[in-house]
A and B are shown apart, each in its own frame.
Chain A
Amino acid sequence: MTVVTYRQAITRGIADALAADDDVFLFGEDVARAGGAFKTTDGIWERFGDERVLDTPISEQAIVGTAIGAAIRGLRPLAEVMFADFAAVCFDGIVNELAKYRYMTGGQVTCPVTIHMANGAGTGFAAQHSQPAENWFLNTPGLKIVVPGTAADAYGLMRAAVADDDPVLYFEHKGLFGRREELPDDAPIVPLGVAETVRAGEHCTVVATQLMRHRAVEAAELLEREGISVEVIDPRTLVPFDHDTVRASVERTNRLVVAQEGSAGGSWGGTLITALLQEGFELLDAPPLLVCSEETPVAYAAALEAAWLPSVERIADGIRRTVAY
């Protein structure tokens, strides 16, 4: 058992993926010699060399397209798009080519592409480098979306993503890079589509990912002192989504709060609530609640950005109101 940062867990996941399969190669802007803009590929080039670890020009369309072309010819590309916001630059490649290629060709090709990107707010990068971009892709069938919130999940989901035969968008949260956790030397692969019940509870189910997962746990600890017992579930992957675990929890707690970084429109939290209302309306003793960001871009100043992100206190308030309903 070693204590590692979330960042180091990503690096180990990438290294082990490269070591496990010669068809895996890593490429992107500054991923080789520089070790990545966020140092998530530190030491990888030194270990695996020029042929398998390649720096690219600042060309996100070429990066995504190259991944697709290599994948349909039998390789397992692991591409880095530095900030998830830059996925907008190669949106066509991701949604029109990568996601649909297998379908359009009647299953003639598979696209085992992983694109990993740094996601999320809270670190002062302002509007074009802080968006929780995972929601952009929810309405595009053909993509899988993973959102690790811990070192173990960062490692295990990286391994699962690269080994998966479908395109996987892997979002790592910038606000968690320095978070330290224990990671066993033989850390397991985390299967896609399996949620983790982070904390058991009786009165309310809270579903949250990445930064919000940790804030939800803090809120639950706060509320425990008030006699409110909160169950926290981290879905870990948004596509596929583990609806069964959430439903089984709500069957016991009869209350649902989703804590989400990012605004409500077209979001995974909104989608989860819709699904539960349609299929489990009778389970609920209170209206489901989405605690999320306001409908604005992410601002720069600490005071502005902090107010945009759901805080521990806002999440706790939402749970209190839901339980008291």
Chain B
Amino acid sequence: MTAKTAGGQAAAATPPDRDAQLEMLRAMHEIRFFEDACHRLFATGAVRGTTHLCQGQEAVAVGACHALRREDQMTCTYRGHGAVLAKGAPLDRSFGEILGKAPGLCGGKGGSMHLTDVEAGALGSFAIVGGHLPVSVGVGFAARYRGTDEVSICFFGDGSTNIGAFHESLNLAAVWRLPVLFVIENNLYGEYSPLSSTTPIEVLADRAASYGMPGIRIDGNDVLEVHATISEAAARARAGEGPTLIEAMTYRQKGHSRADPAKYRPEGELEAWLKRDPIVLHERALAEAGVPQERLDEIRAAAEQAVEEALERAQSWPDPDPETRLEHVYA
């Protein structure tokens, strides 16, 4: 499914070994169980406001973040639980933030839409569509200015490609040849509207041509394809060859937010995509490569247990002291 729409010499990427592939399976399971738990918690009122879940899109975040280094820097959207966890944020403090607990990642000031773990290189989840794309350019600029070979990876949805900040960010990153990986998680819907009703072209990666950068469309539900593509793009970025636009085709198995039942989906669409569930695909590939079913089941069970234990811990944590609301307005 890989189709390059512009030039760029891809460096040869080392494929992940068996252990790394199993680690990616574990990571995807953890995100799936985490999101399922958030769904339940929202229904009980334990999650306030709104929440945007990413079941079905796990391979994009996991394939990408596992192709990067811890010191690489990531920004993402309000549908960002998966990306933040994939970058290495702890399960319990992530739950804690979504539950509004004092030991949560942001001390309860951010919540579901602003999960951030700077220590893990998860620089922030942004709730203004496209608002973080310019930030990711600055992160890439700082890496180059400081003489490091860190890359800045920016996840955003298909809908973000229609907001002005997308254009300004890709243009500036390209003209300054900054080490930024722009990753479109194309889940076919911008909030409630299908992409075809808002966007006159089918392949969003084609937009890269406007900025003279490589644009690549890939199967975002194939974790190894994501891994390989990000590895190549990161190598180019580290070598000073500039940014890449990557369109990862995937599917949002749940609605846009909260309890959206997503009734606007055509009949059969969800079912077809469930057959291409990224976890199912990766398990099948591992089984075909000789991993015993018991080992796959163990990984799933361990992930489920880790998520349950993390949730229990987070639920036991105290609420923030109201006085802390006055902290962190200024340095």
Instruction: Please list the residues of chain A having a beta carbon within 8 angstroms of any beta carbon in chain B.
Output: 25, 51, 54, 56-57, 59, 61-75, 77, 92-93, 96-97, 101-110, 112, 141-142, 144, 165-166
- Kindly provide the distance from the CB of B105 to the nearest chain A CB, expressed in whole angstroms: 7
Q: Which residues of B contact A70 (CB under 8 A)?
A: 138-139, 141-142, 145
Q: What CA separation (Å) do A65 and B126 show in the bound complex?
A: 12
Instruction: Please list the residues of chain B having a beta carbon within 8 angstroms of any beta carbon in chain A.
Output: 73, 75, 104-110, 114, 116-118, 123-124, 126, 128, 131-143, 145-146, 152, 164-165, 168-169, 171-172, 175-176, 327-331
Candidates A25, A65, A109; contact of B145 at CB < 8 Å:
A25
Specify the chain B residue showing the minimal Cβ separation from A101. Answer: B124
- Kindly provide the distance from the CB of B89 to the nearest chain A CB, expressed in whole angstroms: 11
Q: What CA separation (Å) do A57 and B170 show in the bound complex?
A: 11
Q: What CA separation (Å) do A77 and B114 show in the bound complex?
A: 24
- Kindly provide the distance from the CB of A76 to the nearest chain B CB, expressed in whole angstroms: 11
Most B C-beta atoms less than 10 A away, residue of A67, A103, A110:
A103
- Kindly provide the distance from the CB of B210 to the nearest chain A CB, expressed in whole angstroms: 13
Q: Which residues of A contact B327 (CB under 8 A)?
A: 107
22 contacts between A and B (CB under 8 A): A25-B145, A56-B172, A61-B165, A61-B169, A62-B134, A63-B134, A65-B137, A65-B169, A66-B135, A66-B137, A68-B135, A75-B145, A92-B128, A92-B131, A97-B128, A102-B331, A105-B124, A108-B106, A108-B117, A108-B118, A112-B331, A165-B331
- Kindly provide the distance from the CB of B149 to the nearest chain A CB, expressed in whole angstroms: 14
Q: What CA separation (Å) do A73 and B137 show in the bound complex?
A: 11
- Kindly provide the distance from the CB of A50 to the nearest chain B CB, expressed in whole angstroms: 11
Candidates A59, A65, A103, A141; contact of B135 at CB < 8 Å:
A65
- Kindly provide the distance from the CB of A77 to the nearest chain B CB, expressed in whole angstroms: 7
3 pairs of A and B residues whose beta carbons are closest in the complex: A65-B134, A69-B138, A73-B142
Q: Which residues of A contact B142 (CB under 8 A)?
A: 69-70, 73-75
Specify the chain B residue showing the minimal Cβ separation from A141. Answer: B329
Contact call B134/A142, Cβ cutoff below 8 A: no
Given A62-B165, A112-B331, 12 new contacts (CB under 8 A): A61-B168, A65-B165, A71-B138, A73-B139, A73-B146, A75-B141, A96-B131, A97-B131, A105-B109, A105-B116, A107-B107, A166-B331
In the complex with contacts A51-B145, A77-B138, A97-B126, A66-B172 CB distance below 8 A: yes
Contact call A106/B138, Cβ cutoff below 8 A: no
Candidates A25, A66, A73, A77; contact of B143 at CB < 8 Å:
A73
Contact call B131/A108, Cβ cutoff below 8 A: no
Most A C-beta atoms less than 10 A away, residue of B106, B114, B175, B328:
B328
In the complex with contacts A104-B116, A107-B327, A69-B146 CB distance below 8 A: no
Candidates B105, B134, B171; contact of A106 at CB < 8 Å:
B105
